[in-house]
Amino acid sequence: MKPIYSRIIATGGYLPERVLSNHDLAQMVETSDAWIFARTGIRTRRIVAADEKTVDLAEAAARQALADAGLGAEDLDLIVVATTTPDQIFPSTACLLQARLGNHGAPAFDIQAVCTGFIYALATADRFIRCGGTRRALVVGAESMSRIIDWTDRGTCILFGDGAGAVILGASDEPGVISTHIHADGAYADQLQVPDGETRMTMQGNAVFRMAVRTLGEMVQETLAANALDSADIDWLVPHQANIRIIQATADKLGLSMERVVTTVQHHGNTSAASVPLALDDAARRGCFQPGQRLLLEAFGGGFTWGSALLRWS
Protein backbone atom coordinates (compact mmCIF):
# COMPACT_ATOMS: atom_id res chain seq x y z
CA MET A 1 0.00 0.00 0.00
CA LYS A 2 1.29 3.44 -0.91
CA PRO A 3 2.13 5.61 2.11
CA ILE A 4 -0.08 8.63 2.81
CA TYR A 5 1.50 11.97 3.65
CA SER A 6 0.08 15.35 4.56
CA ARG A 7 0.85 18.66 2.94
CA ILE A 8 -0.18 22.27 3.50
CA ILE A 9 -2.67 23.22 0.82
CA ALA A 10 -3.64 26.67 2.13
CA THR A 11 -2.88 29.20 4.86
CA GLY A 12 -4.79 32.00 6.56
CA GLY A 13 -4.13 34.66 9.13
CA TYR A 14 -5.90 37.34 11.12
CA LEU A 15 -4.69 40.19 13.32
CA PRO A 16 -6.98 42.36 15.44
CA GLU A 17 -7.24 46.01 14.35
CA ARG A 18 -5.86 47.74 17.43
CA VAL A 19 -2.11 48.41 17.23
CA LEU A 20 -0.21 48.82 20.51
CA SER A 21 3.17 50.46 19.92
CA ASN A 22 6.24 50.57 22.13
CA HIS A 23 5.50 54.28 22.61
CA ASP A 24 2.03 53.38 23.94
CA LEU A 25 3.64 50.91 26.36
CA ALA A 26 6.06 53.60 27.56
CA GLN A 27 2.96 55.49 28.78
CA MET A 28 1.90 52.45 30.81
CA VAL A 29 5.16 51.11 32.37
CA GLU A 30 8.72 52.37 32.78
CA THR A 31 10.21 51.42 29.42
CA SER A 32 11.09 52.90 26.03
CA ASP A 33 10.79 52.12 22.36
CA ALA A 34 14.61 51.96 22.17
CA TRP A 35 14.91 49.41 25.02
CA ILE A 36 12.12 47.15 23.71
CA PHE A 37 13.37 47.22 20.13
CA ALA A 38 17.01 46.59 21.09
CA ARG A 39 16.17 43.69 23.44
CA THR A 40 13.35 42.04 21.49
CA GLY A 41 13.08 43.42 17.93
CA ILE A 42 9.42 44.32 18.57
CA ARG A 43 7.94 47.68 17.49
CA THR A 44 4.20 46.99 17.57
CA ARG A 45 1.75 44.24 18.45
CA ARG A 46 -2.03 43.84 17.95
CA ILE A 47 -4.55 43.69 20.77
CA VAL A 48 -8.10 42.27 20.69
CA ALA A 49 -11.09 44.60 21.09
CA ALA A 50 -13.09 44.32 24.32
CA ASP A 51 -15.77 42.22 22.62
CA GLU A 52 -13.39 40.17 20.42
CA LYS A 53 -12.82 36.56 21.42
CA THR A 54 -10.20 33.96 20.61
CA VAL A 55 -12.76 32.08 18.49
CA ASP A 56 -13.37 35.27 16.45
CA LEU A 57 -9.66 35.38 15.57
CA ALA A 58 -9.62 31.64 14.83
CA GLU A 59 -12.69 31.94 12.61
CA ALA A 60 -11.24 34.78 10.51
CA ALA A 61 -7.98 32.89 9.94
CA ALA A 62 -9.79 29.61 9.23
CA ARG A 63 -12.19 31.22 6.72
CA GLN A 64 -9.26 32.72 4.83
CA ALA A 65 -7.49 29.34 4.68
CA LEU A 66 -10.69 27.59 3.52
CA ALA A 67 -11.27 30.24 0.82
CA ASP A 68 -7.66 29.88 -0.33
CA ALA A 69 -8.08 26.12 -0.56
CA GLY A 70 -11.42 26.47 -2.36
CA LEU A 71 -13.01 24.26 0.30
CA GLY A 72 -16.10 24.50 2.47
CA ALA A 73 -16.36 23.63 6.15
CA GLU A 74 -18.13 20.36 5.26
CA ASP A 75 -14.92 19.21 3.52
CA LEU A 76 -13.00 19.11 6.82
CA ASP A 77 -12.43 15.74 8.53
CA LEU A 78 -10.58 17.18 11.54
CA ILE A 79 -10.36 20.52 13.37
CA VAL A 80 -7.49 21.15 15.80
CA VAL A 81 -6.99 24.48 17.58
CA ALA A 82 -3.85 25.29 19.52
CA THR A 83 -4.54 27.91 22.17
CA THR A 84 -3.46 28.95 25.66
CA THR A 85 -6.25 31.48 25.88
CA PRO A 86 -9.55 29.65 25.21
CA ASP A 87 -12.71 31.69 25.68
CA GLN A 88 -14.32 29.02 27.87
CA ILE A 89 -13.05 26.07 29.91
CA PHE A 90 -15.34 24.04 27.70
CA PRO A 91 -16.51 23.55 24.98
CA SER A 92 -13.10 23.62 23.35
CA THR A 93 -12.26 26.52 21.04
CA ALA A 94 -12.16 23.92 18.26
CA CYS A 95 -15.82 23.01 18.90
CA LEU A 96 -16.82 26.69 19.08
CA LEU A 97 -14.98 27.23 15.78
CA GLN A 98 -16.61 24.16 14.23
CA ALA A 99 -20.07 25.58 15.04
CA ARG A 100 -19.13 28.98 13.56
CA LEU A 101 -17.88 27.36 10.36
CA GLY A 102 -20.87 25.04 10.07
CA ASN A 103 -19.05 21.71 10.11
CA HIS A 104 -20.97 18.86 11.74
CA GLY A 105 -19.39 15.62 12.88
CA ALA A 106 -15.64 15.99 12.32
CA PRO A 107 -13.57 15.43 15.47
CA ALA A 108 -12.59 18.80 16.96
CA PHE A 109 -10.31 19.44 19.93
CA ASP A 110 -7.85 21.90 21.42
CA ILE A 111 -4.18 21.42 22.08
CA GLN A 112 -2.48 23.26 24.91
CA ALA A 113 1.29 23.48 24.52
CA VAL A 114 1.58 27.28 24.88
CA CYS A 115 3.93 28.76 22.26
CA THR A 116 4.68 25.31 20.82
CA GLY A 117 0.95 24.63 20.42
CA PHE A 118 0.80 25.01 16.66
CA ILE A 119 3.72 22.60 16.11
CA TYR A 120 2.01 20.09 18.44
CA ALA A 121 -1.27 20.56 16.53
CA LEU A 122 0.44 20.18 13.16
CA ALA A 123 2.25 17.03 14.35
CA THR A 124 -1.07 15.61 15.60
CA ALA A 125 -3.03 16.37 12.42
CA ASP A 126 -0.16 15.00 10.30
CA ARG A 127 -0.36 11.70 12.21
CA PHE A 128 -4.16 11.55 11.74
CA ILE A 129 -3.71 11.94 7.98
CA ARG A 130 -0.82 9.47 7.75
CA CYS A 131 -2.90 6.85 9.57
CA GLY A 132 -5.60 7.05 6.88
CA GLY A 133 -9.26 8.04 7.11
CA THR A 134 -8.60 11.77 7.48
CA ARG A 135 -8.22 13.63 4.18
CA ARG A 136 -8.42 17.28 5.19
CA ALA A 137 -7.55 18.88 8.51
CA LEU A 138 -7.89 22.47 9.67
CA VAL A 139 -5.09 23.39 12.06
CA VAL A 140 -5.32 26.75 13.82
CA GLY A 141 -3.22 28.65 16.35
CA ALA A 142 -5.28 31.41 18.01
CA GLU A 143 -4.50 33.57 21.02
CA SER A 144 -5.77 36.52 23.02
CA MET A 145 -2.57 36.78 25.07
CA SER A 146 -3.50 40.31 26.16
CA ARG A 147 -6.12 38.73 28.48
CA ILE A 148 -3.47 36.91 30.58
CA ILE A 149 -0.82 39.65 30.64
CA ASP A 150 0.04 41.58 33.77
CA TRP A 151 0.02 45.08 32.29
CA THR A 152 2.08 46.39 35.24
CA ASP A 153 4.99 43.96 34.59
CA ARG A 154 7.37 45.55 32.09
CA GLY A 155 9.31 42.28 31.76
CA THR A 156 6.36 40.51 30.10
CA CYS A 157 3.77 43.04 28.88
CA ILE A 158 6.09 44.34 26.15
CA LEU A 159 6.47 40.91 24.55
CA PHE A 160 3.06 39.56 23.66
CA GLY A 161 0.32 40.20 21.11
CA ASP A 162 -2.92 38.69 19.82
CA GLY A 163 -3.81 37.00 16.52
CA ALA A 164 -4.54 33.75 14.72
CA GLY A 165 -3.01 31.70 11.92
CA ALA A 166 -4.38 28.65 10.16
CA VAL A 167 -3.41 25.98 7.68
CA ILE A 168 -5.37 23.33 5.82
CA LEU A 169 -3.53 20.02 5.65
CA GLY A 170 -4.52 17.68 2.85
CA ALA A 171 -3.69 14.01 2.24
CA SER A 172 -1.04 13.62 -0.43
CA ASP A 173 1.01 10.96 -2.23
CA GLU A 174 4.18 12.94 -1.47
CA PRO A 175 5.35 14.86 1.58
CA GLY A 176 4.42 17.75 2.39
CA VAL A 177 5.21 17.36 5.99
CA ILE A 178 8.51 15.45 6.03
CA SER A 179 8.90 15.05 9.78
CA THR A 180 7.69 16.53 13.06
CA HIS A 181 9.48 16.46 16.42
CA ILE A 182 7.79 17.41 19.70
CA HIS A 183 9.11 17.44 23.26
CA ALA A 184 8.30 18.65 26.77
CA ASP A 185 9.91 18.86 30.20
CA GLY A 186 7.50 19.83 32.97
CA ALA A 187 10.41 20.27 35.42
CA TYR A 188 10.58 23.89 34.19
CA ALA A 189 6.88 24.66 34.72
CA ASP A 190 7.50 27.53 37.15
CA GLN A 191 9.74 29.53 34.80
CA LEU A 192 6.86 30.58 32.55
CA GLN A 193 3.32 30.13 33.82
CA VAL A 194 0.00 31.47 34.94
CA PRO A 195 0.45 30.42 38.59
CA ASP A 196 -2.14 28.19 40.24
CA GLY A 197 -5.21 30.22 41.21
CA GLU A 198 -4.09 33.31 39.30
CA THR A 199 -5.05 34.78 35.95
CA ARG A 200 -1.87 36.59 34.87
CA MET A 201 1.36 35.27 33.40
CA THR A 202 4.70 35.32 35.23
CA MET A 203 8.07 34.67 33.59
CA GLN A 204 11.73 34.38 34.53
CA GLY A 205 12.71 36.16 31.32
CA ASN A 206 16.44 35.67 31.40
CA ALA A 207 16.30 31.95 32.27
CA VAL A 208 13.64 31.37 29.60
CA PHE A 209 15.76 33.21 27.07
CA ARG A 210 18.86 31.06 27.71
CA MET A 211 16.88 27.82 27.69
CA ALA A 212 15.08 28.78 24.46
CA VAL A 213 18.34 29.54 22.65
CA ARG A 214 19.96 26.28 23.76
CA THR A 215 16.93 24.06 23.17
CA LEU A 216 16.06 25.48 19.76
CA GLY A 217 19.68 25.02 18.64
CA GLU A 218 19.45 21.34 19.62
CA MET A 219 15.98 21.07 18.08
CA VAL A 220 17.06 22.15 14.62
CA GLN A 221 20.05 19.78 14.74
CA GLU A 222 17.75 16.90 15.77
CA THR A 223 15.46 17.67 12.82
CA LEU A 224 18.32 17.79 10.32
CA ALA A 225 19.89 14.59 11.69
CA ALA A 226 16.56 12.70 11.55
CA ASN A 227 16.38 13.45 7.82
CA ALA A 228 20.11 13.10 7.04
CA LEU A 229 20.17 16.72 5.91
CA ASP A 230 22.43 19.60 6.72
CA SER A 231 21.67 23.25 7.13
CA ALA A 232 22.44 24.01 3.46
CA ASP A 233 19.36 21.91 2.60
CA ILE A 234 17.03 24.33 4.42
CA ASP A 235 15.57 27.10 2.28
CA TRP A 236 13.54 28.89 4.95
CA LEU A 237 13.44 29.00 8.72
CA VAL A 238 9.95 29.85 10.03
CA PRO A 239 10.59 30.30 13.74
CA HIS A 240 8.39 31.08 16.70
CA GLN A 241 8.35 34.87 16.94
CA ALA A 242 9.33 35.45 20.58
CA ASN A 243 12.39 37.65 20.37
CA ILE A 244 14.59 38.60 17.40
CA ARG A 245 17.71 37.69 19.39
CA ILE A 246 16.45 34.12 19.95
CA ILE A 247 15.59 33.89 16.23
CA GLN A 248 19.02 35.20 15.23
CA ALA A 249 20.77 32.72 17.54
CA THR A 250 18.91 29.80 15.91
CA ALA A 251 19.63 31.11 12.41
CA ASP A 252 23.33 31.46 13.35
CA LYS A 253 23.42 27.83 14.52
CA LEU A 254 22.00 26.83 11.14
CA GLY A 255 24.40 29.14 9.32
CA LEU A 256 21.32 30.66 7.63
CA SER A 257 21.36 34.32 6.61
CA MET A 258 18.48 36.41 7.97
CA GLU A 259 17.13 36.80 4.41
CA ARG A 260 16.10 33.14 4.69
CA VAL A 261 14.35 33.62 8.02
CA VAL A 262 10.70 34.69 8.22
CA THR A 263 10.34 37.44 10.82
CA THR A 264 7.07 39.04 11.85
CA VAL A 265 8.03 39.66 15.48
CA GLN A 266 8.59 43.36 14.75
CA HIS A 267 4.86 43.84 13.97
CA HIS A 268 3.19 40.95 15.81
CA GLY A 269 5.19 40.47 19.02
CA ASN A 270 4.88 37.00 20.50
CA THR A 271 1.41 35.66 19.65
CA SER A 272 2.17 32.28 21.28
CA ALA A 273 0.47 29.42 19.38
CA ALA A 274 -0.51 31.83 16.58
CA SER A 275 3.01 33.00 15.88
CA VAL A 276 4.30 30.25 13.56
CA PRO A 277 1.15 29.97 11.39
CA LEU A 278 0.90 33.77 11.18
CA ALA A 279 4.54 33.96 10.06
CA LEU A 280 3.93 31.15 7.56
CA ASP A 281 0.86 32.87 6.15
CA ASP A 282 2.59 36.25 5.98
CA ALA A 283 5.55 34.84 4.02
CA ALA A 284 3.33 32.65 1.79
CA ARG A 285 1.21 35.69 0.85
CA ARG A 286 4.34 37.69 0.04
CA GLY A 287 5.30 34.89 -2.36
CA CYS A 288 8.50 34.02 -0.48
CA PHE A 289 8.21 30.23 -0.80
CA GLN A 290 8.78 28.39 -4.08
CA PRO A 291 7.38 24.91 -4.77
CA GLY A 292 9.83 22.23 -3.65
CA GLN A 293 11.61 24.44 -1.09
CA ARG A 294 12.28 23.02 2.37
CA LEU A 295 10.88 24.93 5.34
CA LEU A 296 11.92 24.36 8.94
CA LEU A 297 9.32 25.46 11.51
CA GLU A 298 10.28 25.58 15.19
CA ALA A 299 8.91 26.79 18.51
CA PHE A 300 9.61 26.86 22.24
CA GLY A 301 7.19 27.68 25.04
CA GLY A 302 5.85 27.27 28.55
CA GLY A 303 5.86 23.81 30.01
CA PHE A 304 8.58 23.81 28.80
CA THR A 305 7.53 22.49 25.41
CA TRP A 306 9.43 22.63 22.15
CA GLY A 307 9.08 21.23 18.66
CA SER A 308 9.82 21.49 14.98
CA ALA A 309 8.39 20.50 11.62
CA LEU A 310 10.23 20.04 8.35
CA LEU A 311 8.08 20.66 5.26
CA ARG A 312 8.38 20.66 1.54
CA TRP A 313 6.38 23.59 0.13
CA SER A 314 4.04 22.83 -2.75
String marking each residue 274-313 x if it binds ligand COA according to CB under 6 A: --------------------------xx------------
Quick check: is 115 catalytic? yes
Pick the closer one to ligand COA by CB: 13 or 303: 303
294-301 and 162-172 beta bridge pairing: unpaired
CB of 66 to ligand COA, least distance (A): 29
Residue 97 backbone class (left: φ over 0; alpha: ψ -120 to 50; beta: rest): alpha
Nearer to ligand COA, 60 or 211 (CB): 211
CA distance 280 to 70: 19
Number of residues located near ligand COA, criterion CB under 6 A: 21
**Residue from 61, 208, 220, 274 in contact with ligand COA (CB under 6 A):** 208
Binder among 100, 209, 222, 266 for ligand COA (CB under 6 A): 209
Residues 6 or more apart whose Cβ sits within 8 Å of residue 122: 139, 167, 169, 177, 180, 297, 309
Whole-number Å distance between alpha carbons of 200 and 71:
38
The residues, ordered by sequence, that sit 6+ positions from 173 with a Cβ below 8 Å of its Cβ are 2, 4, 5
Contact map string, positions 46 to 85, toward ligand COA, x by CB under 6 A: ----------------------------------------
Active site residue 243: no
Nearer to ligand COA, 37 or 100 (CB): 37
Binders in 145-184 for ligand COA, by CB under 6 A: 154-155, 158-159
206 is catalytic: no
Is 250 near ligand COA (CB under 6 A)? no
Contact 278, 165 (CB under 8 A): yes
The span from the CA of 235 to the CA of 293, in Å, is 6
Tell me how far, at minimum, the Cβ of 293 lies from ligand COA, in Å: 26
Contact 106, 98 (CB under 8 A): yes
Q: How far apart are CA 252 and CA 59, in angstroms?
A: 36
**Binds ligand COA by CB under 6 A, chosen from 205, 229, 231, 294:** 205
DSSP one-letter code for 133: S
Q: Which is nearer to ligand COA, 204 or 293 (CB)?
A: 204
Measured CA to CA, the distance from residue 220 to residue 217 in angstroms comes to 6
Site string for ligand COA, 27-46 (x = CB under 6 A): ----x---xx--xx------
User: Cβ distance 84 to 117 under 8 Å?
Assistant: yes
Cβ contact 84:120 at 8 Å: no
Catalytic residue, chosen from 115, 157, 243, 288, is: 115
- Identity (one letter) of the amino acid at 14? Y
* Amino acid, res. 66: L
Please identify every residue annotated as catalytic: 115, 240, 270
Which residues form the interface with ligand COA (CB under 6 A)?
A: 31, 35-36, 39-40, 115, 154-155, 158-159, 203, 205-206, 208-209, 212, 242-243, 270, 300-301
